[in-house]
Amino acid sequence: MIVYNFGSINIDHVYRVPHFVRPGETMTSNAYQQVLGGKGANQSIALARANCDVKHIGAIEKSDTRLLTTLQDFGVDTSFVNLSDTPTGHAIIQVNDEAENAIVLFAGANHQISESQIDDVLAQASRDDWVLLQNETNNIELIIERAKHYGLSVVFNPAPMDVNTVKPLIDNIDLLIVNEVEAMDLCQVDTIEEAQTTLQQRYPQLKIILTLGRQGVRYIYKNEVIEVAAFNVEAIDTTAAGDTFIGYCLAGLQLSLPIEDVLRQACAASAICVTQTGASSAIPTVAQVKAFLA
């Protein structure tokens, strides 16, 4: 079973700051890193770290092939990543003293996924394979359409959230993974409980994983709600925590583990991630997750 991840590959510029920069303010950062990032790349690395077979589909500027080497070193298959004349996507990330982050994205080559690339990839997939999507690439509607044509399951993490783009796609999704802010934005309500009720009513056949930060996570399917608490750790950097959760979650689902075990494993991986700085470099191995849970 393979996960085909149509995802972003970014160069992350990470700045440690006392607080997020305010309008009109100039601030000196405490530290700076330039690292591989992008929700897509982070999720592919998390899948590979969780011992899942993952093929990444995307695009980078042809002078940045070192990014592919990094992905390959983590165990990600990059044979479907195209080289482009368009600059590689990048992100400007502020990480404050509370370990929260604020991110500005530039799409760049992430929006160069072509129709022919989509068909070439999905024509090779088997019916028990999955397609994973975020909202940092182009042609998402077409990818979903072609995935369903080939009988593949589609997992969608619609971040960054754009309600007008995302809402028409939900009926063709098998598993939706959203955080509390994304869920409230999607449903245009003010509380997470309202969002959960709205999602259940509007999409009764949709499987939903709702991440709630320090409050844990909920799995929602029809009238079933399963909740797992988050682990209490001292957070240093939350940049790749959600992507780590998603990678380990999908790996657990592919192994057909009980949903409580899937969510607990994913929460553990995410908890380990936030105790370290960086994005991809902070994603733990299976051995680290097992040791944490022991």
> Which active-site residues does the annotation give?
243
Q: Which amino acid is at 189?
A: V
Tally of helices (H runs) and strands (E runs) in the chain: 10, 13
- Answer for the pair 40, 56: CB distance below 8 angstroms, yes or no: yes
**Rounded distance between C-alpha atoms, residue 48 and residue 248, angstroms:** 9
CB 130 within 8 A of CB 4: yes
CA distance 120 to 224: 38
Given a contact cutoff of 8 angstroms between Cβ atoms, the answer to whether 89 and 8 are in contact is yes
Contact (CB, 8 A) for 187 and 199: yes
Cβ neighbour number for residue 120 with a 10 Å cutoff: 12
Name 129's Cβ contacts closer than 8 Å, sequence gap at least 6.
1, 2, 3, 4, 152, 153
Contacts of 240 (CB under 8 A, 6+ apart): 37, 42, 46, 273, 278, 279, 280, 282, 283
- The helix/strand/coil state of 36 is strand
Cα separation of 204 and 222, whole Å? Answer: 5
Q: Which long-range contacts (CB under 8 A, 24 or more apart) does 259-264 make?
A: 259/219, 259/226, 260/226, 260/228, 263/209, 263/217, 263/219, 263/226, 263/228, 264/228, 264/293
